Copies of this chain bind each other. A is one copy, B any other.
Amino acid sequence: MAEKLVGACIIGQSGGPTSVINASAYGAITAALEAEEITQVLGADHGITGVLGDKLYDMGKEDPQELAYLKNTPSSELGSCRYKLADPEKDDTDYKRILEVFKKHNVRYFFYNGGNDSMDTCDKISRFMSKSGWACRVMGIPKTIDNDLWGTDHCPGFASAAKYIATSAMEVSKDGRVYPTGQVTIMEIMGRHAGWLAASAALATHFGAGPDLVYLPELDFDKEAFLDDVERIYKEKGTCFVAVSEGLHYADGTFVSEAKTSATDGFGHAQLGGLASRLCEMVKERTGAKVRPIELSLLQRCGAHLASKTDVEEAELAGRVAVQSAVAGETGKMVAFERAADEKGNYVCKTVLLPLTSVANAEKKVPLEWITPEHNFVTKDFIDYVLPLIQGQPERPTECSMPRYAKLKKVQA
């Protein structure tokens, strides 16, 4: 049994927001408020920058009902940041400041909710505290719609984005087939290096109306093969619907969205617009088809109205387990998920703890064997992987049929 450690805790949110990062905050905050070892529960304003600036909110002063609304409030309610801590060997200014703030508030627990970079921040703080002799337990709570965190079966935030993407793809697929003269629709989906989100559009196809083609950044983009695929389907069906990861790149590593092109501008000026617009121009040039680029943009990461209940519950669980594990003596770990099955074979999500050092800065990509040999779709393995994660519609509080989000008082500590 670990030594009992009594003091305040800080909970911070970092990186790009998701539909369920506040559900993790809710899990962590409520578990911390319940833990007798934790004397004060502090929320960091804009992640680690709030710690550095000693801008901390006393979560114990919030109305419990408003905290409960966090479960269905998208984006990062405490504010997020993309601040990168220096290598402590080279510059420990920030770390000394963090320690100062920790000492001021007697912070003995630090919970950080984010993706790859945030786990790196978490790991560095954990090691610095350890070295400095300030007893403080540090735990990472996973979060990323990109689903690219190493070591966990999946990440909180991914499934809700996947469900948003798949549902939207299904709707757009219906819309794109409405006129007798068809069109080529290209939907651009987030995912710079990993194609989990773009692959999720294939769920729509699995349920009867979705993209004909899906291209992921796990493989080099072959422009000619892409145009051949689109042309073939467009000729065959009169329409073609394509889902692409924003991170598509040529064999030399150049992002397709940034590559120079002469498609519409003979003077060599860089084209404006994102990947979908680029690809649409290529398709138009090749086929003459009417084209329609659609960029899901921020909508896909904040579309909480289509959140997966499974995801919301697992996100809350991750926050709760982080706090409970730290109180029980763990430190320097990230909560991760393992996929299991109950006696009936149904999906069950188990939590495990992974060393932060093993998680930080590693990336998990879609297995190549889950991409079809033609490199233009995903296999049933991917569908089987993602389907259990998007299940269920959470209870969604509304006010006059509009979403009712948490309204925090944010009382400075």
Contacts and interface: CB of A to CB of B under 8 A. Distances in A.
A264 interface: yes
A271 B264 CA distance: 11
A390 B302 CA distance: 21
A402 B204 contact: yes
Contact of A176 (B46, B298, B392): B298
A131 interface: no
Interface stretch (A72-80, A132-140, A190-198, A351-359): A72-80
Interface in A305-347: 305-306, 308
Interface stretch (A84-92, A160-168, A360-368): A160-168
Contacts of A79: 177-180
A294 B294 contact: no
Given A73-B174, A174-B73, A401-B163, A298 B305 contact: no
Interface string A203-243: 11001110000000000000000000000000000000000
A289 interface: no
A124 interface: no
A373 interface: no
A172 B302 contact: yes
A354 B324 CA distance: 66
A183 to B, nearest CB: 10
Contacts of A81: 179-180
Best-surrounded residue of A80, A179, A267, A301 (most CB of chain B within 10 A): A179
B305 A306 contact: yes
Interface string A392-404: 1100001111110
A169 B370 CA distance: 35
A177 B170 CA distance: 30
A167 B304 CA distance: 10
Given A46-B179, A208-B405, A298-B294, A171 B76 contact: no
A253 interface: no
Contact of A297 (B46, B265, B294): B294
A305 to B, nearest CB: 6
B391 A400 contact: yes
Contacts of A76: 178
A348 interface: no
A17 interface: yes
A186 to B, nearest CB: 11
Given A82-B179, A167-B403, A401-B390, A271 B272 contact: yes
A126 to B, nearest CB: 24
A277 to B, nearest CB: 6
Given A46-B179, A79-B178, A185-B298, 15 more contacts: A17-B174, A73-B174, A75-B178, A79-B179, A79-B180, A81-B179, A171-B305, A175-B298, A207-B400, A208-B407, A265-B269, A269-B269, A294-B297, A391-B401, A392-B401
Interface of A: 17, 46, 49, 73-76, 79-82, 163, 166-168, 170-172, 174-180, 185, 203-204, 207-209, 264-265, 267, 269, 271-273, 277, 292-299, 301-306, 308, 387, 390-393, 398-403, 405, 407
